Amino acid sequence: MPLPHRYVYKWNPVEYRLFGPININWASQPLRTFEIMLALIRGTVTEKGLQVKAFLVDQVFEKGIKVAKEIYLTINIQPHDICPRWNYTIRPNKACT
C-alpha cells in the first residue's frame, strides 16, 4: 500500500526507518570523534534484526562532475529487489577482472 503523499520523502525508506533506532542507540553519547559516531551507528539493530553498516570516506569530492552517457551505460550496476533506485551494487566489469 503506498504511503499518503505527506509521508513520501526523498530519502531511502530503509534509511528513514533506521533514523529512530540510530538515535536511540546513541542517545546522550557525545559524538567527539568519527570513530565513536561510526561505532554507535554500526551497533544499531532494529527490532526486526536490520543491522546498520557504516564507514567513513575521508575524501573531498569535486562537485558537478558529469559522467558521459556512453560511460554510464558500461557500469555494471546490479539493482537490489528492495528500492532498486536507491539500493544497488556496483561490480567491476568482466573486462576489468
At residue 95, the pLDDT reads 61
Q: What is the pLDDT of residue 93?
A: 81
Backbone angles phi, psi at 88, to 5 degrees: -155, 160
For position 8, what pLDDT does the model report? 44
Q: How many domains does the chain have?
A: 1
All 3 cell numbers of residue 32? 567527539
CA–CA separation, 83 and 87 (whole Å): 6
- Burial-class residue 53 by CB neighbours within 10 Å (0-12, 13-18, 19+): exposed
Host domain of residue 53: 5-96
Tell me the whole-structure pTM to 2 decimals: 0.47
What three-state secondary structure class fits 51?
strand
